Amino acid sequence: MKSRMLFAVLIVLALVLAACAPAATEAPPEPTAAPAAPAATAAPAAFECTDAIGCVDIAPGDPVHLAYALSVSGATAGLGEDARGAIEIAIDDVGGQLLGHPLSLTGEDTLCNAEGGQAAGTKLAADPTIVAIVGTTCSSEARAAMPQISQAGMVMMSASNTNPDLTNPDHPDHWPGYFRTATNDIFQGRVAAEFAYNELGVKTAATLHDGSPYAESLQQVFADNFTALGGTITAQEAINVGDTDMTGVMTSIATGAPEMLYFPIFEPEGGFVADQAKSTPGLENVILMGADGLLADTFPENAGPAAIGMYLSSPAVSGPEYDALLAKWKTKFGGVPPSGYHAMAYDATNIFFQAIEAVAVVDADGTVHVPRQALRDYLYALKDYPGITGTLACDANGDCATGEALGVFQLTEAEVTGGNWPPKVIWQQ
């Protein structure tokens, strides 16, 4: 019996010792591989210009460089000053800055002739910092300047070039990168002819030009439209720039006894023509009509009493936005603009601002890159731009005006002797 009890005690003791023994230690896990270090974040790729004709690169703090090519001295200075003032007001309106960069404006005096245009074009085309150019004043300047400007990849937009050849893709004077907010003379010549024939009842007219692309083409458009309406062109004569004695050509024109003399030329020749026409036998009562090239505040006084009653076709802009531009002009410069293309220059400058902002690539540090072909493409595709000269759209050849902002002005004694400017618009289509 004692043996059985002893055996039971030993069994219980063994069970107790087994329960109290520590559990077997599990083998430690195999060390895992250290996590891979995160890949370094790739730096933003540096801008690479892939534009077909290059880019303008503007470093932080450097200006967005605009230029003008305008006639700002001599007898046609008023035409260029008119546009330059509007460009400066447009720059003021955006606070003098674009895309965080200051705007700078430099320019060349183009003198309203081919020689001045060529010199200006050569100099401007050699400056790679220029993004866009507002100009030229006269069509002859654009003809000479655009080959260099176009080949440099730049864009130029004129507020006052009206020669049809400049936007005729079949003419050698048409160059890529050329635009204008001025009205093509296809419109202006027709407006002048319709005013003469339909409103004044004129049936015979003579024309006179100075050999410039502007004057020669505009008088021809007038003559073509006047003839198509049923009128008769009695003579198409020419003078030279610099002529002061018009006796011979006036005598020749008088032999046809025209009711109207249409001479879309510039100063100072325009003043000599007006004055000497009225003193030529047979032309004492001839109706005088010029165009936008003579719509300058210096012309009435220079032409003298012969200019009283004279008609001028030119841009005629109105509306609250235009009134606001005139108010800014008065505040900045005093008085009123000296000619008729300031509104077109204001629109041209603001169109450039919109286009540059649309195509520019801006780096994180503020560097701006302007692709030149992209800038051209944007302008050629411009639609529904709300300008103060109307709703503008550029066609594939560079014409951006609609022709709707044209009218006929008449000079009175108030402009000739009273210092009044501008004259009143007496007719618009």
Q: So what's the pLDDT on residue 46?
A: 86
Q: What is the pLDDT of residue 242?
A: 95
* Dist. CA 190–CA 202, nearest whole Å: 14
pTM over 0.75: yes
Query: What is the mean pLDDT of the segment spanning 196-225?
Result: 97
Show the tokens assigned to 116.
């001045």
What is the helix (H) or strand (E) element at residue 6, kind and residue range?
helix 2-20
Q: Locate 353 and state its tokens.
A: 């601002």
Contacts of 148 (CB under 8 A, 6+ apart): 118, 121, 122, 124, 125
Q: What is the pLDDT of residue 210?
A: 96
Flag whether pLDDT at 27 surpasses 60. Answer: no
* Per-residue model confidence as pLDDT tens digits over 286-327: 999 999 999 999 999 999 999 999 999 998 999 999 999 999
Q: What does the pLDDT look like over 336-360, one tens digit per residue?
A: 999 999 999 999 999 999 999 999 9
Closest CA to 291 of 192, 187, 429: 192
